[in-house]
Structure 1
Amino acid sequence: MRIERHQVDGARVAEAREDFVNRIGRQVHSYSRAGLMTTTEWQMISDSFLDYLGALSTTRPDLHCAEARAVLRDAAAAAAGAVSFAAYYPVDSFHVFLDYPNFGMSYDRERGRERDPHHRVTAGEWLDAFCLAIVCDQVSVHGEAFGWARQLMPGGPATPTLELVDGLLAYFFEDDGVPDGSTAPVADLQPGLRVLRALAAGDREAFDAALLALLRDEPQGTGPASLLPLVPIALAALAYRTHGWTPSVDTDYLPHALITGFETAGPRVRAFGRDPRPDALAALAAGPVHVGRTGPALPCSPENEARLERLTLEAVTAGEGRPLNARDLTGALRYQTYLLAARASECDDATDAVIATLRRGSQLGAAVFRAALAEPGTETEATIDGRALRFPARRDRDFGPALWQTALSFALITGSREDLEPLVLAGPTIAAEDRSPSASYRTALHDHLRGADPLPATERALKEAERIREGWLPAPAVLLSQLIGGDATGFDLALLDALEAHRDHHSVADRGTEPGAPLSLDVLALACHARRTRGWVTRVRSPYLPPRLLQAAGRT
């Protein structure tokens, strides 16, 4: 059976979509500056995300896209923030973080203060937040907050919403998993409880009938969020993830991505070539696989380009009475990454300007770490743009692991052994300890390049990558594992996964305008290194892998 969605106000849909990235950023920062963010503010933020998600569904009803996933996740996080404030503040500490606007708020325990009854959540707000938690698989994370918030709700006669609230709590947190009202006649249960009881009983036929009735009973609003009825979506998601039941009713009210948890076939390959997906192997065997690049071109204005080039030249030009300083080169290397992003974004292959930028960045990075390796009181030599230069020895905290990784990527892409040598000798922690989630990846890559056993660090890097929460892009540890393992096919499959992860990450919010969006330096570096050292010709085609750079790697 097909159920069509109701019509909503087109003006409100357009308003929800218009400049959402900047608008949600202004909203959360405005609330944070205005004073204490309470249940009210977090609920309004969640409502804004849900309106935008509903607006997205008007053109993409299945919501299978990275933008929708990020928006849903933050709608759930903000709604859980409202529940957490009601449950904990000011008697316990908690934290709320939104990936989309990159905004977080921490709340500390305030001794001697009592909860404000005005900051409780209503049964409807609790229910919406819990449904979002179901869809995002976050019930166990926020379970305690939901339990406390329910206990703090004002007393009074039972309502259909409260009955479903208690039924969900029983289903998730009581030993028998039986929702309240399970012994009452079906006709006497509120619609959501009928669905939940059928789900608890494993009765597929009753579940389908009850879910259909629930959808027909849903109120029809005029705002875009009303296109996404949270209770039916959550219950359908619960059925799919518990029993594998797909909704029998055909309707855009139940977006496939939300029901399945944005289910995909999973990674094409796992560490060291284990468990490659047969469909991925077949696609790769059939011919080149293309990964497109999303996001706008990021052209650099002639004025800004000239400014960055001038600043780079100043970094390698000694002033009167002032020697060259290796620390100035770190800024020059950053300028090259900006120029590289701008130049690479305008073409699917590497232009002469891109190649010149890569070469200069490689030389700058090598010069920094030559200065770090030099004995104090001595000088080191470096050649940049054909000019032989001398720098006093220096080891600065700015020469840290992240800069080392950037410099190494430039060197691996260009293939300059002269530039690679000081980086391998120095290692990522020559100037500063590495406490980042990429620490083991850097160690593994360094071990591989210097001929040490990279497997222990690679195993740690793989575990670290798995722990990276959504919204953050981990280092390509699986790709490195295929290179280390000598598996060319596994490398291609991991390359596809890494490039798609990079593309999806930068298709959310305004991340497409970040300097790292047009190219993944880490992935491109490993691809060039694999071509250069192992002779692998990848069957992956993408603007993220400029053919001219890979061809050059094959000739060295």
Structure 2
Amino acid sequence: MELNKWEKAFGDNPSLENAQKLEHAQEEYNTTVGEGVSNNSKLGEDLGEEAARRHMLQQKEFEGAKEVDDPPLPETPNGLKRFDQLWRDKDGNLVIVEAKSPNGVLEWRQSNGRPDGTVMVKQGSIEYVRTILADMRERAFTRMPSRPGPCATYSSRPTRTFEVLQYSPSILTGLLRRNALVSIIPRHPFPTGNAEAGLAVLQQSAEGWIGRLEGRSTALGEALDTALTLAKAHCLMDPRGATFPTWDAWVNAMQVGSAVFAAATTTEGQVQCRIAHEDRMLQATGLQPYVTPGSWLTAFYLAVVCRERDRITALCQVPLSLLRENSPGFDEFEFAWIDTLQTYWLGGDGLGQKLVAAIDGTDPQAVRSGQEVVGKLLYPPMEMFHQIVRGDNDGFNRALAAALQWHREYWSEEERAVLVSGLVALGPLAMTCLAHDAGIPIDVESDYLPTVLVTRNWCGEFPT
């Protein structure tokens, strides 16, 4: 409020100019709020609460929603470590509303729960929701109720308020599934009964392929397929990509993907590549059946996810003519898409025209590839990239949500639903990493999109 501003200014510097401005602000305050009404931050908070409440009532999307107030949300000192408002829509979904006083902004705070308290989380993000839930759980188990039972009040509080235990489990589940700022795209059902055994087999296989690369570098194609499968398989039980083994597997896959093109394009007899924590001397392979637009995109996406700028640059210097020469059966839009990404990264000319050519090339009448693969898997990253280039935050998040929905549709088919390849949406993940690094807020959450990979928490953990 202006009165707060000029009270502070006058306190810091009691000049005539500040005194006049303070007097003017006081007059405006008296006219607006009322003479004799104390000026404190509670007024701004109350205004924000009521404005948020009226805003919810006016939203068509939430028509028929009712505020959860029986029992009310727990009161805390200064309103910290709690949600401002909680609403239930007509379908039973829960909506979190963050109310702000005039000139208020979404703020950052230290996390609690997942991820651990070493990172900051922003109001409105799913990690902030998890943090508040963790705070509520702690209060539920550390404050002793004044009387037993699921509706216990707390003797340390003068008003009738209830903690998180009263909302479990339905409200806790709902809070993680729906809030006003984050869209959730669930992953298709996938069997987990043999997950540990399957990971062990994949780990052994990946180590085997990588271990024989120095003696047989033309095995890079099989090594890339196996390493990427292992990386995605880790995300079955670790969908956020929060553990070190998951990150290690993704880095290994990235290193193999880049090595495919380092070995294919080197003009020397050998090339040194770091793979799985070792520097390995690989033989020059030249063009091989696995050196294709598809493997280039996989290598590029992996390098983007791992934020490997030098490897991205090296990939963007792979001649498009080399890929054309080795891949005559591929659709033209795939070469146009690679050309777009190379132009973007290297700062070349004609980015817009190249992107338009790539997108237009995915028209069902123009492609030889399966139309479902093109429409649901190959095209969506292009539209996401389009929104990044435009700097359209909302447009990007709509494109991301659509990409993950199409990914889910494609991999939900019965014959595909048990394939590890569908556990992570690699192309959309890479575009989301680009968007995150460009400052675009990510308002979509999904197990197809490991959060910790997006937020680059593990980057720099070890030499790559």
> Which of the five TM-score ranges fits, normalised by the shorter chain?
0.5 to 0.7
- Closer, same or farther: CA 505–288 of 1 in aligned 2, 3 Å: same
Once the two structures are superposed, the pairs formed by residues 277-292 of structure 1 within 5 Å of their partners are 286-292=180-186
Q: Distance in 2 between the 1:420 and 1:297 partners?
A: 35
Once the two structures are superposed, the pairs formed by residues 167-316 of structure 1 within 5 Å of their partners are 286-297=180-191, 304-316=198-210
Among candidates 362, 379, 390, match of residue 475 of structure 1: 379
Q: What's 1:484 paired with?
A: 389
Q: Which runs of 4+ in 1 moved over 4 A?
A: 298-304, 553-556
Among candidates 295, 298, 310, match of residue 406 of structure 1: 298
Among candidates 446, 454, 464, match of residue 542 of structure 1: 446
Matched, 1:516 2:421: yes
Once the 2 structures are TM-superposed, how far is the Cα of residue 537 of structure 1 from its aligned partner? 2.3
Instruction: Say whether the 8 Å CA contact 1:400–1:430 is kept in structure 2.
Output: no
Does the residue aligned with 2:190 lie in a helix, a strand or coil? coil
- Closer, same or farther: CA 371–438 of 1 in aligned 2, 3 Å: same
Does the residue aligned with 2:272 lie in a helix, a strand or coil? strand
Once the 2 structures are TM-superposed, how far is the Cα of residue 498 of structure 1 from its aligned partner? 0.8
Instruction: Say whether the 8 Å CA contact 1:372–1:426 is kept in structure 2.
Output: no
Instruction: Say whether the 8 Å CA contact 1:529–1:553 is kept in structure 2.
Output: no
Instruction: Say whether the 8 Å CA contact 2:261–2:291 is kept in structure 1.
Output: yes
Once the 2 structures are TM-superposed, how far is the Cα of residue 299 of structure 1 from its aligned partner? 6.7
Alignment deviations for residues 400-426 of structure 1 (CA, whole Å, 9 cap, x no partner) = 111111111111111122332321111
Q: What's 1:531 paired with?
A: 436
Alignment deviations for residues 165-194 of structure 1 (CA, whole Å, 9 cap, x no partner) = xxxxxxxxxxxxxxxxxxxxxxxxxxxxxx
- Closer, same or farther: CA 386–555 of 1 in aligned 2, 3 Å: closer
Amino acid at match of 2:257: G
Once the 2 structures are TM-superposed, how far is the Cα of residue 301 of structure 1 from its aligned partner? 5.6
Once the 2 structures are TM-superposed, how far is the Cα of residue 311 of structure 1 from its aligned partner? 3.7
Q: Distance in 1 between the 2:193 and 2:244 partners?
A: 16
Identity %: 21
Q: What's 1:342 paired with?
A: 233
Q: Distance in 2 between the 1:554 and 1:392 partners?
A: 31
Once the 2 structures are TM-superposed, how far is the Cα of residue 310 of structure 1 from its aligned partner? 3.5
Once the two structures are superposed, the pairs formed by residues 1-150 of structure 1 within 5 Å of their partners are none
Q: Distance in 1 between the 2:208 and 2:238 partners?
A: 29
Does the residue aligned with 2:455 lie in a helix, a strand or coil? helix
Q: Which moved more, 1:504-513 or 1:362-371?
A: 504-513
Does the residue aligned with 2:238 lie in a helix, a strand or coil? coil
Once the 2 structures are TM-superposed, how far is the Cα of residue 446 of structure 1 from its aligned partner? 2.4
Among candidates 334, 346, 351, match of residue 438 of structure 1: 334
Once the 2 structures are TM-superposed, how far is the Cα of residue 303 of structure 1 from its aligned partner? 5.5
Matched, 1:500 2:405: yes
Once the 2 structures are TM-superposed, how far is the Cα of residue 339 of structure 1 from its aligned partner? 1.3
- Closer, same or farther: CA 318–295 of 1 in aligned 2, 3 Å: closer
Alignment deviations for residues 136-192 of structure 1 (CA, whole Å, 9 cap, x no partner) = xxxxxxxxxxxxxxxxxxxxxxxxxxxxxxxxxxxxxxxxxxxxxxxxxxxxxxxxx
Among candidates 331, 339, 361, match of residue 464 of structure 1: 361
Alignment deviations for residues 100-145 of structure 1 (CA, whole Å, 9 cap, x no partner) = xxxxxxxxxxxxxxxxxxxxxxxxxxxxxxxxxxxxxxxxxxxxxx
Q: Distance in 1 between the 2:179 and 2:264 partners?
A: 46
Among candidates 322, 346, 357, match of residue 450 of structure 1: 346
Q: Distance in 2 between the 1:355 and 1:409 partners?
A: 15
Once the 2 structures are TM-superposed, how far is the Cα of residue 305 of structure 1 from its aligned partner? 3.8
Q: Distance in 2 between the 1:546 and 1:404 partners?
A: 22
Instruction: Say whether the 8 Å CA contact 1:380–1:391 is kept in structure 2.
Output: yes
Does the residue aligned with 2:282 lie in a helix, a strand or coil? strand
Alignment deviations for residues 20-73 of structure 1 (CA, whole Å, 9 cap, x no partner) = xxxxxxxxxxxxxxxxxxxxxxxxxxxxxxxxxxxxxxxxxxxxxxxxxxxxxx
Q: Distance in 1 between the 2:179 and 2:199 partners?
A: 43
Instruction: Say whether the 8 Å CA contact 1:299–1:346 is kept in structure 2.
Output: no
- Long gaps (5+) in structure 1: 1-283
Amino acid at match of 1:440: A
- Closer, same or farther: CA 422–298 of 1 in aligned 2, 3 Å: farther
Does the residue aligned with 1:403 lie in a helix, a strand or coil? helix
Question: How many aligned positions are there?
Answer: 268
Superposition TM-score, scaled by structure 1 size? 0.44
Once the 2 structures are TM-superposed, how far is the Cα of residue 291 of structure 1 from its aligned partner? 1.3
Q: What's 2:115 paired with?
A: none
Once the 2 structures are TM-superposed, how far is the Cα of residue 516 of structure 1 from its aligned partner? 2.6
- Closer, same or farther: CA 516–427 of 1 in aligned 2, 3 Å: farther
Does the residue aligned with 2:422 lie in a helix, a strand or coil? coil
Q: What's 2:53 paired with?
A: none
Alignment deviations for residues 430-458 of structure 1 (CA, whole Å, 9 cap, x no partner) = 34236235332232222222222322221
Among candidates 305, 308, 319, match of residue 416 of structure 1: 308
Among candidates 237, 244, 247, match of residue 355 of structure 1: 247
Once the 2 structures are TM-superposed, how far is the Cα of residue 480 of structure 1 from its aligned partner? 1.5
Amino acid at match of 2:449: L
Amino acid at match of 2:439: G
Q: Distance in 2 between the 1:427 and 1:500 partners?
A: 34
Q: Distance in 2 between the 1:391 and 1:544 partners?
A: 33
- Closer, same or farther: CA 554–460 of 1 in aligned 2, 3 Å: farther
- Closer, same or farther: CA 429–538 of 1 in aligned 2, 3 Å: farther
Q: Distance in 2 between the 1:326 and 1:454 partners?
A: 35
Q: Distance in 1 between the 2:193 and 2:351 partners?
A: 39
Q: Distance in 2 between the 1:530 and 1:355 partners?
A: 20
Q: What's 1:385 paired with?
A: 276
Once the 2 structures are TM-superposed, how far is the Cα of residue 394 of structure 1 from its aligned partner? 1.9
Instruction: Say whether the 8 Å CA contact 2:252–2:276 is kept in structure 1.
Output: yes
